[in-house]
Structure 1
Amino acid sequence: MNAGKTVAYIIAAILILFGVLFIWATFSPQGNTGWLVVGVISVAIGLVLIFLAGRKRPSDKQEVNVKIDLSGNVNLDTLKCKSCGGTLTSENIKMVAGAPYVTCPYCNTTYQLTEEPKW
């Protein structure tokens, strides 16, 4: 939580506290109906501050990096397309639903990479 959100939550808590006190004071024998308006407005501003401070902003982006650890030796400079035999590079491999897929830049064939057993 950053400092701006912390300050907003503290100010909201203070506004809500005083708003509730004004609302309670309205119903005392010396109460004034104007205090009810001040209390409701104070509580409303406090709740709006809490709402605004709790929202996620579009600038709070997270970057996710996926690293693939294959159990066998993979040599990318010898990876060939199954359809046309064209040479493939790491830029031709994309992760789709958690599985590595290859798209050949020559014949536009797309297929899933499968790891051959070691035995």
Structure 2
Amino acid sequence: MHYQALIMKISTVIGGIIAIICFFFAVIFGLAASVQATTTRLAVSIVLFLIGMVVIAGVWYLNRRPKTVVQRLEVSGRMAAAQIKCPNCGGSINADQIKITQGVPYVKCPYCGTTFEVTEEPKW
């Protein structure tokens, strides 16, 4: 995973350098088009500008992918798995059905369809 981030950073830097070079030469050819051979130089200027825009769009597309967030839970002491029951129908809930939404664990009962928040009962 670390190498993928490094490759993304390197491709962003290389893409930025290529885009800057294309824009620089597009401006040079655009200015030169006002002096002599206007059609050819202006066409080259437009092509270089479009190449620079395509490179920027490609770098943006590569970097806009969703980032994976890993959540870890640290508990103090030993932890024993307790059976979770639906408060509505009393059906047993599998731990694989727990989904974390905005940091709060929720579960949907497969029997009655009730969605409820999983809370930790105090030990005292």
TM-score, length-scaled by structure 1: 0.64
Give the letter for the 2:18 counterpart: I
- Taking only the aligned residue pairs, the percentage that are identical comes to 32
Q: Is the 8 A contact 1:100 1:113 kept in 2?
A: yes
Matching residue of 1:19? 26
Q: Is the 8 A contact 2:25 2:45 kept in 1?
A: no
- The runs of 5 or more residues in structure 2 that have no matched partner are 1-7
Deviation at 1:11, TM superposition (A): 3.5
Of Structure 1 and Structure 2, the greater helix share is in 2
- The runs of 5 or more residues in structure 1 that have no matched partner are none
Matching residue of 1:64? 69
Deviation at 1:69, TM superposition (A): 4.1
Larger mean CA deviation between 39-48 and 58-67 belongs to 58-67
Question: CA-atom RMSD, angstroms?
Answer: 3.4
Could you say if the C-alpha distance between residues 27 and 68 of structure 1 is closer, same or farther in structure 2, counting changes exceeding 3 Å?
same
Distance (Å, rounded) in 2 between the aligned partners of 1:116 and 1:107: 23
Alignment of 1:10-89 (within 5 A): 10-28=17-35, 31-34=36-39, 36-38=41-43, 40-57=45-62, 60-69=65-74, 75-89=80-94
Distance (Å, rounded) in 2 between the aligned partners of 1:92 and 1:10: 48
Matching residue of 1:90? 95
Q: Secondary structure at the match of 1:55?
A: helix
Larger mean CA deviation between 59-68 and 41-50 belongs to 59-68
Larger mean CA deviation between 46-55 and 67-76 belongs to 67-76
Tell me the matched-pair count: 117
Match of residue 103, structure 1, among 108, 111, 115: 108
Give the letter for the 2:119 counterpart: T
Q: Which has the larger radius of gyration?
A: 1
TM-score, length-scaled by structure 2: 0.62
Distance (Å, rounded) in 2 between the aligned partners of 1:100 and 1:20: 56
